[in-house]
Structure 1
Amino acid sequence: MTQKVVVIYSGGMDSFTVLHKAIKDGYQVFPLSFDYGQRHKKELDYAARVCKQLNVHHKIVDISAINQLIGGSSLTADIDVPEGHYAEESMKQTVVPNRNMILLSMAVGYAVSLEADKVYYGAHSGDHAIYPDCRPEFVQKMNDVSAIANYQPVEIYSPYLTVSKIDILTDGLKMGLDYSQTWTCYNGREKACGKCGACQERLEAFEKNASSDPLEYES
């Protein structure tokens, strides 16, 4: 019987690559997406379309009520999304407090209920400067907790934890993936803004891979 894994799947290019990597690794995948009140909820539509095409069991879970407790992020509040690269201090405005600990905890619980062995998680080195819950030490501590939190240990597996989005795209292009099926921009408008940190990093990844981004941009 094929082993099961849960994949935290936002609909963005990193988790899109991780999803296909898990499939390539030979697992039966159970993609899990979260509506946490993000302004770029458009990414969930992309996730749903991809999972329908792949004919895999996909869940989108509404946890937007958490915004009664955690706030202050430009991704979930009426605050302008900052422009510029992730290395800039202003990008800390996009941090949603404790988001990934919450998402990983639910994903691990889902994995236990499915009797799945792993949760695939798309953190990478480009996130380390701004997002504490994408850093290797965080993932390791979450793994330590996951190993003892249930009768069945579940591994949190982050295949791209120590590499950049450039490397993720390189791997995805080698797999022949179509990145027009992903949404990255923090502004959920008709076209990607091209100016927020997410767009800047995505465009940089395509440039470094000598490839063209198939998404349309406002500028």
Structure 2
Amino acid sequence: MSEKVIVIYSGGMDSYTVLNKAIEDGKTPYALSFDYGQRHKKELDYAANVCKELGISHKIVDISAINSLVGGSALTDDIEVPEGHYEEPSMKQTVVPNRNMILLSLAVGYAVSMEANKVYYGAHSGDHAIYPDCRPEFVEKMNDVCAIANYEAIEIVTPYLKVSKTAILTDGLRMGLDYGKSWTCYNGREHACGKCGACQERLEAFRDNNATDPLEYES
């Protein structure tokens, strides 16, 4: 029987690639998605559809109550989603305080209960400038903690931590993945906006790979 692993799966292109990377590596993934009160649930629908198609275990956990403690982000509050590239200072409005530490802690608990010893998540180098909890030093310290927080040591695995979204897409295209099955846009409208930081970075990755994004865009 293949090794069980927990994959934090948002439904976005990074976690979609990580999920399939775990499968390619011969692991048995248990996908874990979180409703943390994000502006829309569209990405969770995409995650559910992929897991159903692949026939893998998938849990969607409602932790939206944390918004009474960790508000102030354009992803969760009534704050306009900024447009433009991730390097712009305005993108810091999309930071949800301590989000990944919270999600990783819950995923580690799930891993212990499932007798899995690894938790995968999709941090990458493009996130480092904006999101402190996607930086290598954060992952390193989380691994130190997760080695001693339970009787069982849990490893935090970040296959793409030191590469760009362009490189993630390159690997996914090599695996033959259909990125029409992932949702990246911070807005939950019928089509992706093409203007928010998430859309801009996604479209840039497709351009860099000389590929066409299968998602439909408003502009």
Residue 82 of structure 2: aligned partner? 82
Partner Cα separation in structure 2 for residue 133 and residue 196 of structure 1:
21
- 1:168 paired with 2:168, answer yes
Residue 121 of structure 2: aligned partner? 121
In the TM superposition, what whole-angstrom CA distance separates every residue of 1:138-162 from its partner, at most 9, and x where no partner exists?
A: 0000000000000000100000000
- 1:47 paired with 2:36, answer no
Residue 33 of structure 2: aligned partner? 33
Partner Cα separation in structure 2 for residue 174 and residue 28 of structure 1:
20
Partner Cα separation in structure 2 for residue 196 and residue 48 of structure 1:
24
Partner Cα separation in structure 2 for residue 121 and residue 182 of structure 1:
15
Partner Cα separation in structure 1 for residue 141 and residue 189 of structure 2:
36
Residue 71 of structure 1: aligned partner? 71
Gaps of 5+ in 1: none
Partner Cα separation in structure 1 for residue 171 and residue 27 of structure 2:
18
Partner Cα separation in structure 1 for residue 3 and residue 217 of structure 2:
39
Partner Cα separation in structure 1 for residue 175 and residue 70 of structure 2:
38
Query: Contact 1:40/1:185 (CA < 8 Å) preserved in 2?
Result: no
RMSD (CA atoms): 0.5
In the TM superposition, what whole-angstrom CA distance separates every residue of 1:7-57 from its partner, at most 9, and x where no partner exists?
A: 000000000000000001001110000000111320000000000000001
Q: Give me the TM-score of the superposition, normalised by structure 2.
A: 0.99
User: Does the residue aligned with 2:147 lie in a helix, a strand or coil?
Assistant: helix
Q: Which amino acid aligns with 2:32?
A: L
Q: Which amino acid aligns with 2:72?
A: G
Q: Give me the TM-score of the superposition, normalised by structure 1.
A: 0.99
User: Does the residue aligned with 1:31 lie in a helix, a strand or coil?
Assistant: strand
Partner Cα separation in structure 1 for residue 38 and residue 20 of structure 2:
24
Partner Cα separation in structure 1 for residue 17 and residue 47 of structure 2:
12
Residue 203 of structure 1: aligned partner? 203
Partner Cα separation in structure 1 for residue 131 and residue 27 of structure 2:
29
Partner Cα separation in structure 2 for residue 168 and residue 23 of structure 1:
15
User: Does the residue aligned with 1:44 lie in a helix, a strand or coil?
Assistant: helix
Partner Cα separation in structure 1 for residue 184 and residue 75 of structure 2:
12
How many aligned residue pairs are there? 219
Shift of 1:65: 0.3
Residue 20 of structure 1: aligned partner? 20
Residue 96 of structure 1: aligned partner? 96
Percent of pairs with identical residues: 79
Residue 105 of structure 1: aligned partner? 105
Partner Cα separation in structure 2 for residue 208 and residue 9 of structure 1:
24
Shift of 1:117: 1.4
Gaps of 5+ in 2: none
In the TM superposition, what whole-angstrom CA distance separates every residue of 1:169-200 from its partner, at most 9, and x where no partner exists?
A: 00000000000000000001110000000000
Partner Cα separation in structure 2 for residue 41 and residue 204 of structure 1:
24
User: Does the residue aligned with 1:148 lie in a helix, a strand or coil?
Assistant: coil
Shift of 1:3: 0.9
Residue 189 of structure 1: aligned partner? 189
Shift of 1:84: 0.4
Query: Contact 1:32/1:59 (CA < 8 Å) preserved in 2?
Result: yes
